Amino acid sequence: MNIPNSVQPPVTLTIAGSDCSSGAGLQADLKAFSFHGCHGLTAVTCVVAETPEHVESIHPVPPAILQEQLEILLSTYPIKAVKTGMLYSKAHLVAAYELLEKSDIALVVDPVMVATSGASLVDQSAISAYKDRLLPLATLITPNMPEASVLLGRPVETKDDLEKAAQDLAEKFNTSCLLKGGHLPGDDDRLDILWHEGLAHHFTASKIDIACTHGTGCTLSAAITAQLAHGVEMVDAVSASLDWVHSAIMNSFQWNSPSGNTIHCLNHLRSGSLH
């Protein structure tokens, strides 16, 4: 008789929207979790009909159904780390907050507000709930520059704005903050800044001239969540995850679409490293 090997990979959970094109949202998170050797769970907040270029429609899942998914998952699995992506409305955000508040699971909050294609992914009512509830609960927050501007109420537009903004966000919400500099203008090197335990960590890489950026934010925060679930320390978790996403962009998939366009997707299957 074959006795199966019993293995216990760390369990991670994403609370996010469904991106039917699978480059972003919970599909990206699940691929990133699997790649990093975690068993990924999903709690769906909304169903988004979209492609990398275009958001067609957003269909929120009733908040009570989000709550049911979370209750059953949190009471059944030994979850090591959670990430939130597109929460969409205040009611979804509060449903997630009320359950997460009772646990001390590592929490990565990607305060998703706008898709790479430019479409808004958040109801305005959610912004104050982010500030008052979810961000102060987080182990790490991963805003991009427009999200940092909204959260701080001031422009975050230049390289010189980044470090102070990362520090102010970390201190304001009593957390660690990875501020992503992907929206910096020009062809300078990429700069992302982590403010963690009173220190700034600068991560630089050459800017990639490539069309495939849809889902990079989701994928990055999911990779960090997986690394934290493995017990990797914050600075190493961020550094390894940035390298991995860089590789997923450099090796992205490309197809000719029936409509005549070229369509891209991040390559979530690229090899990365676990510290």
| Catalytic annotation, residues | 180, 213, 215-218
Distance CA 15, CA 18 (A): 10
Listed in sequence order, the residues at least 6 apart from 136 whose beta carbon sits closer than 8 Å to its beta carbon are 173, 174, 175
Length of the chain: 275
- Please identify, among the stretches 12-20, 154-162, 225-233, 256-264, the one whose residues bind ligand PXL according to the rule CB under 6 A: 12-20
Q: How many residues bind ligand PXL (CB under 6 A)?
A: 16
- Please identify, among the stretches 17-25, 98-106, 179-187, 240-248, the one whose residues bind ligand PXL according to the rule CB under 6 A: 17-25
Main-chain phi, psi angles of 179, to 5 degrees? -95, 120
Listed in sequence order, the residues at least 6 apart from 164 whose beta carbon sits closer than 8 Å to its beta carbon are none
- Please identify, among the stretches 70-78, 111-119, 134-142, 230-238, the one whose residues bind ligand PXL according to the rule CB under 6 A: 111-119
Q: At its nearest, how many Å lie between ligand PXL and the CB of residue 121? A: 6
Distance CA 148, CA 170 (A): 11
Q: At its nearest, how many Å lie between ligand PXL and the CB of residue 181? A: 16
Q: Which of 35, 143, 131, 129 is nearest to 91 (CA)?
A: 129
Identity of the residue, 50 or 161, whose beta carbon is nearer to ligand PXL in the bound complex: 50
Q: At its nearest, how many Å lie between ligand PXL and the CB of residue 44? A: 9
Distance CA 62, CA 94 (A): 13
Q: Kind and range of the H or E element at 214?
A: none
Identity of the residue, 48 or 229, whose beta carbon is nearer to ligand PXL in the bound complex: 48
Within residues 139-158, the interface with ligand PXL by CB under 6 A covers none
Within residues 224-243, the interface with ligand PXL by CB under 6 A covers none
State the Rg of the chain over Cα: 18
Residue 50 engages ligand PXL in binding (rule: CB under 6 A): yes
DSSP string, 45-89: EEEEEE-SS-EEEEEEPPHHHHHHHHHHHHHHS-EEEEEE----S
Q: At its nearest, how many Å lie between ligand PXL and the CB of residue 198? A: 30
- Please identify, among the stretches 3-11, 30-38, 70-78, 213-221, the one whose residues bind ligand PXL according to the rule CB under 6 A: 213-221
SS3 21: coil
Q: Which residues bind ligand PXL (CB under 6 A)?
A: 16-17, 19, 24-25, 48, 50, 85-86, 112, 115-116, 121, 215, 217-218
